[in-house]
Structure 1
Amino acid sequence: MINLFNTHIETLSIHRVGNKSRNEAIFLSGQSTNLNDEVVPLIKEYFFRPFREKEENYFQFAHEVDLEYNDMFKLATEIFENPSNLHEVSKKITTHLFEQSNHPHIKNGEVYVAHLTNVNIDNNVVDAIGIFKSELQSDFLQFEEKGTSLEMNLQHGINLSKLDKGCLIFNYKKEEGYKILTVDSNRYDARYWLEHFLSVDAFEDENFITKKYLKFCQGFAKDVVFPSEDKKEEVMFMNRSVNYFAKNDQFEESNFLSEVLDNPDLLPEFKNYKVDKGEKYSIEDVTSFPIANSAVTDARKSIRNIISLDTQIQIKMDFINPESAEKYVEKGWDEEKQMYYYLVYFNKEVKN
């Protein structure tokens, strides 16, 4: 997890890149930017808000031969080893981005390169590099008093409520290629920012594996449990799966299966599904790993625990107390109506 509340912008350099395929130029500033006290909170919010509002899916610099051949890894290391040289390295970073700006849909814009201090990641305080790009401009009005009237002037500028592209490179886990967070609001060419400019892969830590394994379980529940049994059992399987992750610090697949699979006939189905789909979810060889609690919390929010019926009725199950559904919800068949039914037991109705 990250905390940017006390993060300080030590140095900021701003440049501009055009689109090479349209013969647009690159502009490199001669010196870093001085930020006044009025601008600092606004620019920090502009830079950091997108990273607080999205899931923390981490990346790392990668190269098929060796990390030392990754241009951005080398440039980031150059800044971390000598932060006072940020402005000169920021020119190299901006030039590298310009060289990738060949797709006709890529928009020109300002590039901000910042050295950040007092960044908290995984309870470690480190420094970081922020690289941000603003692409879309908005129209806005300014008013000027002239005599007895107000004159209206139309201007164009950056909307500080939405960052177009950005990444945070943390001075952390260097041997793996640093831990990186990235955002891209304008996906007109998804490969431009992640692949061509940054050249990153997913950071396969416990957070990544926990999320991927729970995604795999969702796939198994939908593709195997539901067709084999029913919607209630699909929901209950995911219910038991999430609770296993929530109450354990270490995942062990054999223990997991013994706890969450009520029907022993599904055990070979699970193993076959992992052979077929494991590579898709990047868990083909995974049988044991530390569980990331934050990933479990995120998964609990996204997994649907609702049985939706064709009679426009929904039954919401409780992930916190799965035994309630096991004990107090029964499924049956009504011969007279020729319809399935759910029978729900309770003592009294509870106010919402």
Structure 2
Amino acid sequence: MINLYNTHIASLSIHRAGNKSKNEPLVLSSQPYHMDDEITPLLKEFFLKPFREKEENYYQFVNEADLDFSEVYAAATAIFSDPETIHEESKKITKHLYDQSTHPHIKDGEVYIAYLENLQLDNVKVNAIGIFKSELKQDFLQFSEKENNVTAHLERGVNLNKLDKGCIIFDVNKEEGYKVLSVDSNRYDARYWLEGFLGVNALEDDNFRTKKYLKFCQDFAKDVVLPAEDKKEEVLFMNRAVNHFAKNDLFNESAFVNEVIDNPDLIPEFNQYKTEQGPKYKIEDLTSFPIANTAVTAARKKIKNVINLDTNIQIKLDFINPESADKFVEKGWDEEKQMYYYLIYFNKEQKT
């Protein structure tokens, strides 16, 4: 878990990288940017806000031959060894980004490279390197006053409410390729940023394993539980699965299967589905691991607990009290109407 609120920008270099295939220029500043009390808080919020709002999915640098051949990894290692080198290394990083900017969709933009201090990662204070890019420009009006007249001027600039791309490289796990967080609000060129420029893969930590296993369960519910049972049972299966993860610190697959799968006939189906689909989620050999609470919370928000009926009626089941659906919701078939129905029991309507 990260805490960025006390982060200090110790140094900042700003360059510009165009699209190389369009012969747009690469502009490297000769000196670091001079920080001031007015603009520094705005830039800090611009850089870090997306990471506070985004689910923590970590990456690590990889290279088939050797990590030292990864340009960004090598630059980060040099900076962490001697922070005074960050401006010269920032030029190498921006040049590397420019060399990857060959797809026609890639837009030119400002590249900001910052040395960050006083971050907290898993309750430990660490330093980090931030690499950020602003691409999309917006029109805005600037006003001036002269001789009792107000004049409007049209200008273009960066919207400080939206960072286009960014990553934070934490000074931990150097030998494994560091821990890296990344954000990208423009999906059309994601491979260019993560693969071409950064050269990272997903870090297979507890957060990764928890998220992948819950995604596997979600697809099992959709592909197996729903056809075998009904929508109610699909929702309840995922309800039980998420609650099992939420109340345990350590995942054990045998305990999970016994608690979550109500229908014994589906246990062989679950094992078979994992055998066939496990490699897709990278969980084929996974039977025990520490559970990451942040991943469980994020998964709970994404999982739908609503039954949508073709009669334009929705039934929302409570993820906090799943036993209510078992006790007070029944599904049946009406011979006269030739339609399914849900029978819902209650004592009184709740006021909202």
Shorter-chain TM-score: what band? over 0.9
Q: 1-side partners of 2:317 and 2:152: how far apart?
A: 57
3-state DSSP class of the match of 2:187?
Answer: coil
Partner in structure 2 of residue 21 of structure 1: 21
Partner in structure 2 of residue 91 of structure 1: 91
3-state DSSP class of the match of 2:29?
Answer: coil
Partner in structure 2 of residue 155 of structure 1: 155
C-alpha displacement at 1:231, in angstroms?
0.8
Partner in structure 1 of residue 190 of structure 2: 190
Structure 1 runs not aligned, ≥5 long: none
State the identity as a percent: 68
Partner in structure 2 of residue 235 of structure 1: 235
Partner in structure 1 of residue 351 of structure 2: 351
Q: 2-side partners of 1:293 and 1:107: how far apart?
A: 37
**2:103 corresponds to 1:113:** no
C-alpha displacement at 1:320, in angstroms?
1.3
3-state DSSP class of the match of 1:189?
Answer: helix
3-state DSSP class of the match of 2:259?
Answer: helix
3-state DSSP class of the match of 1:280?
Answer: helix
Q: 2-side partners of 1:175 and 1:326: how far apart?
A: 50
Partner in structure 2 of residue 103 of structure 1: 103
Partner in structure 2 of residue 30 of structure 1: 30
C-alpha displacement at 1:350, in angstroms?
1.5
C-alpha displacement at 1:279, in angstroms?
1.4
Q: 1-side partners of 2:246 and 2:156: how far apart?
A: 49
Instruction: State the Cα deviation string for residues 277-301 of structure 1 (Å, max 9, x = none).
Output: 1111121111111000111111111
Q: Name the TM-score, length of structure 2 as normaliser.
A: 0.97
Partner in structure 2 of residue 41 of structure 1: 41
- 2:17 aligned partner, one-letter code: V
Partner in structure 2 of residue 287 of structure 1: 287
Deviates more, 1:65-74 or 1:28-37: 65-74
C-alpha displacement at 1:152, in angstroms?
2.0
Pairing 1:163-174 to 2, within 5 Å after superposition: 163-174=163-174
Aligned residues: 352
Q: 1-side partners of 2:301 and 2:18: how far apart?
A: 41
Q: 1-side partners of 2:13 and 2:80: how far apart?
A: 16
Aligned Cα RMSD in Å? Answer: 1.2
- 2:116 aligned partner, one-letter code: L
Q: Name the TM-score, length of structure 1 as normaliser.
A: 0.97
**2:144 corresponds to 1:144:** yes
Partner in structure 1 of residue 313 of structure 2: 313
C-alpha displacement at 1:202, in angstroms?
0.4
Instruction: State the Cα deviation string for residues 289-328 of structure 1 (Å, max 9, x = none).
Output: 1000111111111111111211222111111111111112
C-alpha displacement at 1:335, in angstroms?
2.0
3-state DSSP class of the match of 1:116?
Answer: strand
C-alpha displacement at 1:35, in angstroms?
1.2
3-state DSSP class of the match of 1:188?
Answer: helix
- 1:134 aligned partner, one-letter code: S
Partner in structure 2 of residue 7 of structure 1: 7
- 2:282 aligned partner, one-letter code: S
Instruction: State the Cα deviation string for residues 254-281 of structure 1 (Å, max 9, x = none).
Output: 1100111111111111111112211111
3-state DSSP class of the match of 1:214?
Answer: helix
